[in-house]
Chain A
Amino acid sequence: MSTQNDGLVDRIGNVGRQAIGNGWTTERFALLGLLALVVVSVGPQFQVYLFTEFLIIALFAVAFNLLYGYTGLLSFGHAMFFGAGAYGLAIVLRDYQSAIAEIVGTGLAPLATFVVGGIAGVALALLIAIPVGYLSVRLEEIYFALITLAFGMLFYSLLLQDPYGLTNGSDGIFVALGGVELGGTEFRLAGRRIYYYITATVVTISIYGIWRIVNSPFGTICKALRESPDRAAALGINVSVHRWMTFIVSALFVSIAGVLIAGFSSVATPNEAHWSMSATPVVATVIGGASYFGGPIVGAFLYHYVRWGISRFPALEAYWELFFGIMLIVVVLYFKQGAAGGLAMVGAWLRNVQAAYDRGGANAATAFVRESIGEKLGSMMSRSTTGRSDDGGTDR
């Protein structure tokens, strides 16, 4: 047993050493990320809970960014799909659990219902995304944002209207994930760690799927559309169809996040489809950096944990939007590429400091630091006085 453990530890150590020796490849970074996910699961209960929610928001933001950062379409109605996922699961759990129990037996029923509900949530989002996407992608920029906002609020008010007693109005639907009996073992799906494992697995697979999509020819076309729809059209790409497809794919992944949030918070309420929920991935992506694949994840992390930090202080909690406003202003003014871009920038700068140190020792390094900071401050001042606008290096 101990040799096995040692072997594993050695191997992990090797990966770590190699990573440092050879630079961080994506694979190694991903592997350590997965390891971190496992480490989190042994943390204190509440932190596992908090991290689970972060993962769901991260998936929401990454899926949203497929349309925004990669295709150049700012949707303000993605909460519609978030809500669709949540309600799909909630309605199946409420109305079909006993029917499913008759088919698969009571022991497996909660798990089967969860899976069926999840599929129903995604299917519902698909059903909405096809027509909504078809109508919306004909528009661009602010018009696209407004029409998606309108569709989103239409869906929201439909949930409030409680059609055929399906959505239970503003009270929402209680989502009770039951206990599963499987081969003599029993566990509660909603148990803190079990649900974390489910979420971590689903989110990891989904984000990996989105990663594959953005790095496929499909994703390359998305980027081409973002840079210049006209040139892409000249190359023979059907702009509307491709945007439509991207819209649908993005909506599907958002609905997966929606399914997870319903199980997480034990309830599906119309709030999950409200426009302010649509703003969540927008804010997370802008803070994190839309031009990086990991940007929305960094942004979701900051969004979630800064908000949690604020909520520790009741006096400040009432004004938490104020803090995000300030954060957004700082990011938009000084970090065009978001926090992820800021991290990369600081990383590059530190490498330069190191290089200066290697060249001429401590004095050279200090001189470089002084000079670069002076330069940066100078450029900031001139920006604020001349009001020169910078498009963050992206041609929109």
Chain B
Amino acid sequence: MWLTVVDKNITRDADGIGSSTSGTGYDRRTILKTATAGAGLTSIAGCLGGGSGGSGSVTLGAMNILSGFASLYGEEAERGYDLAVEEINNNGGIDGNDVEVIVRDTEADSGTATQQMTSLIEEDGVDGLMGLDSSGVAQNIAPQIKQSQMPLMITHAATPYVTSPEGESEDSVGNDYVFRCSNTVAHDMYGAAQVASELDATDWATIGPDYAFGYDTWAYFQAFAEGMGVDANFTTEQYPPLATSDYSPYISSILDAEPDAVITPLWGSDLTTFLGQAEDSGWFDQIDHTLFSVGMGTDLPSDGSPLPEGEWASTRYDPFVPDTEENNTFLETYMEEYDTLPTYNAEGAYRAVYLYKKAIEEGGSTNAGDLVDQFSGMQHTGPVGEYEFTETNQASVASIWGEVTYSDEYESNVLEPVERYEAAPADVRGALEGSDLPPGL
């Protein structure tokens, strides 16, 4: 396959750049000597035809973490895309055209993500973008999305700043081209504060990853708790760096402070490592309640259901709620295909493809401007339920929290009982009044 591309390059070179020199009679020696420069020219000349998005098909570009310690996020998202693509293409495609999703690895790095974005837009000629797992990457990508004027549907990254219009706060980077169909930290913490208000706990602490997501979680949790009148003291905060292997100093700092409850946004392999070490240090005997804000996103794809039963965990999509036909069908198909419960990351990715389908069919075009017009204020229903896009391009989805319970039927942890907190924009904004944090919806 790659060889044919090279061949094409050479042919192009012969009738393109080569023509100016063909008269001078290069011999083999000179050709060899110019091989360095020549190879550059040939590959450059040859790539006009690189785009795979020919007429008659819809091409979407996805950017997720496919390698490194958080690769399970990308793998989950890929399942969602694949499932949606298969369903759509088996049912007449998008306006009769097949849809194709090209998934690229961001390596959880903004520089790599920028390159992948550029490649998807300019080389593959995609009609729209989606994905993004890391908040840090999302924050650096959003301004560039505006510059390249290509719609982006974020399916996972949760920083409120990407759906907070530029200027609202110092870090706000929201703009017309960036949408999000999944939850924000504000959603998750709005629900967490509700859970906190129902728990018998006053002293709160946090242990979170040492980057924006860790700090934002704690800041929003405190702001909501105060805004909603929860009786809470905030004692200590610990931020171990990503991919920490020894959590014991952080764990003992928290245990020394003797909080009643801890909220933790640790995720991925960091969370599983932490859980093992917390268990050994007697964490769950000393601390009454631990709230895992992205717990189910890690628990479901991990081996052996690492979250301890009886603690609280959040998800952004629960496989059993709402009990609608759409959700049940999705759950059934997903279980059949992958033999595990779907995560919110897979559901978000699945829904993003359907959002593009709806926008393209209703607007009758894959033009970036038309897609943005369609997405703005769009009402949509997916496995997660009904929602619409707010003025800041954020989906009005609910915050979901529940108690971790092992289900023998699914051989997996589930949330039972589970509570959906409708995070209506007005309520969220109201609760945040008095803090300088943007609601992001």
**Once the chains are docked, how many angstroms separate the CA of A170 from the CA of B105?**
18
**Once the chains are docked, how many angstroms separate the CA of A218 from the CA of B43?**
37
Q: From B104, B114, B143, give the contact of A265 (CB < 8 A).
A: B114
> Would you call B32 and A32 a contact (CB within 8 A)?
no
> Would you call B114 and A33 a contact (CB within 8 A)?
no
| B17: chain A residues within 8 A (beta carbon) | 39
> Would you call A170 and B211 a contact (CB within 8 A)?
yes
Q: With A313-B2, A346-B32 in contact, do A51 and B40 touch (Cβ < 8 Å)?
A: yes
Chain A residue with the shortest CB-CB distance to B35: A343
Q: From B32, B102, B118, B135, give the contact of A343 (CB < 8 A).
A: B32
| A170: chain B residues within 8 A (beta carbon) | 136, 210-211, 241-242
Q: From B41, B115, B135, give the contact of A36 (CB < 8 A).
A: B41
> Would you call A171 and B140 a contact (CB within 8 A)?
yes
From B40, B50, B67, name the one whose CB has the most chain A CB atoms within 10 angstroms: B40
> Would you call A171 and B122 a contact (CB within 8 A)?
no
- In chain A, residues 204-223, which have Cβ atoms closer than 8 Å to a Cβ of chain B? none
Q: With A24-B33, A51-B44 in contact, do A350 and B28 touch (Cβ < 8 Å)?
A: yes
- In chain B, residues 211-259, which have Cβ atoms closer than 8 Å to a Cβ of chain A? 211-212, 241-242
> Would you call B24 and A49 a contact (CB within 8 A)?
no
Interface residue? B338 (CB, 8 A): no
| B45: chain A residues within 8 A (beta carbon) | 43
- Having A170-B136, A269-B111, A312-B5, one finds 12 other A-B pairs with CB under 8 Å, namely A44-B122, A54-B40, A172-B136, A174-B143, A265-B114, A266-B140, A267-B111, A269-B110, A271-B112, A301-B39, A317-B105, A318-B67
A9 shortest CB reach to chain B, Å:
8
> Would you call A46 and B241 a contact (CB within 8 A)?
no
> Would you call B44 and A350 a contact (CB within 8 A)?
no
Interface residue? A107 (CB, 8 A): no
**Once the chains are docked, how many angstroms separate the CA of A271 from the CA of B48?**
31
- In chain A, residues 1-24, which have Cβ atoms closer than 8 Å to a Cβ of chain B? 13, 16-17, 19-20, 24
**Once the chains are docked, how many angstroms separate the CA of A318 from the CA of B24?**
44
- In chain B, residues 382-431, which have Cβ atoms closer than 8 Å to a Cβ of chain A? none
Interface residue? B194 (CB, 8 A): no
Chain B residue with the shortest CB-CB distance to A35: B37
> Would you call A172 and B47 a contact (CB within 8 A)?
no
Q: From B66, B139, B211, give the contact of A169 (CB < 8 A).
A: B211
A interface residues, tally (CB under 8 Å): 54
Interface residue? B55 (CB, 8 A): no
Q: With A36-B41, A269-B111, A312-B2 in contact, do A16 and B33 touch (Cβ < 8 Å)?
A: no
**Once the chains are docked, how many angstroms separate the CA of A39 from the CA of B26?**
19
**Once the chains are docked, how many angstroms separate the CA of A233 from the CA of B336?**
74
| A351: chain B residues within 8 A (beta carbon) | 29
Interface residue? A117 (CB, 8 A): no
| A171: chain B residues within 8 A (beta carbon) | 110, 135-136, 139-140, 211-212
**Once the chains are docked, how many angstroms separate the CA of A169 from the CA of B34?**
44
Interface string of A269-295 (1 = CB under 8 A from B): 101100000000000000000000010
Q: With A32-B34, A267-B114, A301-B36 in contact, do A314 and B103 touch (Cβ < 8 Å)?
A: yes
**Once the chains are docked, how many angstroms separate the CA of A172 from the CA of B141?**
12
Interface residue? A176 (CB, 8 A): yes
> Would you call B109 and A269 a contact (CB within 8 A)?
yes
Interface string of B77-98 (1 = CB under 8 A from A): 0000000000000000000000
| A44: chain B residues within 8 A (beta carbon) | 44, 47-48, 50, 122
Interface residue? B19 (CB, 8 A): no
Q: From A36, A267, A350, give the contact of B37 (CB < 8 A).
A: A36
**Once the chains are docked, how many angstroms separate the CA of A238 from the CA of B381?**
75
> Would you call B44 and A47 a contact (CB within 8 A)?
yes
Interface residue? A334 (CB, 8 A): no
Chain B residue with the shortest CB-CB distance to A188: B147
> Would you call B115 and A265 a contact (CB within 8 A)?
yes
